[in-house]
A and B are shown apart, each in its own frame.
Chain A
Amino acid sequence: EAQVTQNPRYLITVTGKKLTVTCSQNMNHEYMSWYRQDPGLGLRQIYYSMNVEVTDKGDVPEGYKVSRKEKRNFPLILESPSPNQTSLYFCASSLRGARLVTDTQYFGPGTRLTVL
């Protein structure tokens, strides 16, 4: 089954304790992204990647890191989480190529992060 998986689905942590949220897709997609969703703000893109070792900042990259060492994986790293990073996080992937009919973004199930 084609899917994007995220782990963990729920996480409660404390300020300053480094954490990683994993994201994996099994569709051989080149493009991957991380978003955060906050009430009244919609989804905001944190980072995106266009291929292995190619990443770029989205709208709200401060306080986050990413890496893309393998095509299928795109982990999100919070080196020193703070309470304002409490949010719902989504990973997404899509095929490369703006003109392809299949250029559809597939989302993971979301990770609910609480930073105390």
Chain B
Amino acid sequence: AQSVTQPDIHITVSEGASLELRCNYSYGATPYLFWYVQSPGQGLQLLLKYFSGDTLVQGIKGFEAEFKRSQSSFNLRKPSVHWSDAAEYFCAVGASSNTGKLIFGQGTTLQVKP
């Protein structure tokens, strides 16, 4: 069955430091992968997505992610974190169905220290 694992439930980084959020997926074919961010009281906002092609994808707000098939990973990175990046981050895979439903990981809460 398809699944997404985010090993880190909570991460704290200092403002200005680099960030990497881990995501591992289980999927038989080439996956459709997404990263969403959720701020308190807000809906999920798409940061970036990977379908095919270049394995390093750029997103909004200075985020990027790298697809590594050999490791079944799609880790999210940012070179320098801002206090406004504090939020919950979700990795998701597009299910192998004709509906487009997403299978989400349980999320990683990012705290940014001043």
Q: Is this pair of chains taken from one and the same complex?
A: no
A residues near B (Cβ < 8 Å) are none
